[in-house]
Amino acid sequence: MPNNTYQDALNRLEKIGKLADINEEVVSTLMYPKSTLTASLCVRMDNGSREYFTAYRCRYNDILGPTKGGVRFHPDVNQQEVEALALWMTIKCAVVDLPFGGGKGGVTVNPKKLSPMEVERLSRSFIRAMADFIGPNVDIPAPDVYTNERIMGWMMDEFEAIKRMKTPDVITGKPLSLGGSVGRGDATGRGAYLCIKELEKKNGWNPEDKTVAVQGFGNGGYNVVKLLQKDGYKIVAISDSKGAIYSDKGFDVDSIYHAKQESDKVKAVYCEHSVCEQVEHDRLSNEELICLPVDILIPAAMDGVINSDNIDDIQAKHIVEIANGPVVSDVDDKLKEKGITVVPDVLSNAGGVTVSYFEWVQNRNGISWSEEEVHERLKKRMVEAFNQVWEIAEENDFSLRESAYTLALRRIENAIEAHGTQKYFSR
């Protein structure tokens, strides 16, 4: 994520705030993170040496509730990235009406170069540094890039050891055996899928007639196209960090996922039982995939992939963002002019934080919901949020991004005004 991403996020916030006639005091409040903690984590390596890693945790805004957001382990993590992600999480939680503010954390590290035991020590060191900055009623971490449920289990265990009490609600995205929730694994992709199904209803299209390209075949990208394929959508292009495959005949998603788990590469194959056969396909770059003439483009990998360099070449009719910030703010207006519908990340990838909320609720109440109940609760919240965003767009001739931000900012505005703004105190 480039260093100007946070400024780009602020520019978009300020622009939409003015467009939606949001109280300037509210927008001004959201221009600054409430608090960001930086720490140096000392980790004993397997060879006996000590290494130091820079860690961050941002609690951006907690007017609607305790902050919530993932922790990522990645070599490009920096303060600007963490604060941008925490701002987006603030907006996201408000869009789907969760009683949370936005938070985010990260460690500047390449976890692929660490042993499993070194990753565990790093995870526990992160919690020791952040133990007084997080908590079930203050800030609740979750998995993100290169972190997973096992790492969340280590983090929860370390927090409980420090506090000398059981606190399963301090972390979400945990293993089921440690208080995790069913339905959390595919929640991000399922949330995006539910948004696409609402688009389908609004436009009255037939799934069998629609082509889909997904850039990024991780958890979110895989799960959304898996669900779409079951409904008849044709998945014609898939990519990972190494490149893309394309076939106008479409691919079998599960076969490609199976091959990727075996080889760590996206391969154009069809698998029946344990036998996989290569199917006819073209090799593309990730940049070429972004510009394919498909009905639905799903950027599910990196930020900033749709920008001023390629905006004129974008041919997709609909863009559904699973990655955080895949479209830079400078091209928002151009996409609107081209008639391309963009379902923004603050809505379409909100399934993950929504089911994290469900996990938090279950932990706090000592109950467990079935997978069917989790799916139904997620569907209800995502569909309701989508239709609220759609209605604002229809009434004001806004893009869906402008509408989603408007919905979120109005909810935050109501909470801030309840405490009193300049207008109240100057009467």
103 Cβ neighbours under 8 A, 6+ residues apart: 57, 58, 59, 60, 67, 68, 69, 86, 89, 139, 140, 141
Q: Are 355 and 374 in contact (CB under 8 A)?
A: yes
Q: Are 194 and 224 in contact (CB under 8 A)?
A: no
C-beta atoms surrounding 323 within 10 Å: 22
User: 68, 92, 104, 267: which one is catalytic?
Assistant: 104
DSSP code per residue over 127-162: HHHHTTT-BTTTEEEEE-TT--HHHHHHHHHHHHHH
Catalytic (active site) residue 104: yes
Backbone angles phi, psi at 144, to 5 degrees: -150, -150
Element (H, E) at 41: strand 35-44
Strand pairing category for 101-108 and 67-74: parallel
Element (H, E) at 237: strand 234-240
Closest C-alpha among 344, 338, 316 to residue 407: 344
* CA–CA separation, 23 and 26 (whole Å): 5
Tokens standing for residue 301: 């990998």
* CA–CA separation, 328 and 399 (whole Å): 15
Strand order in the sheet with 35-44: 35-44, 50-61, 101-108, 67-74, 139-143
Element (H, E) at 320: strand 318-320
Q: Are 173 and 180 in contact (CB under 8 A)?
A: yes
**Helical H runs in 280-370?**
286-290, 332-337, 345-348, 351-365
Closest C-alpha among 91, 83, 166, 131 to residue 174: 166
Closest C-alpha among 135, 146, 128, 9 to residue 70: 146
| Catalytic residue list | 104
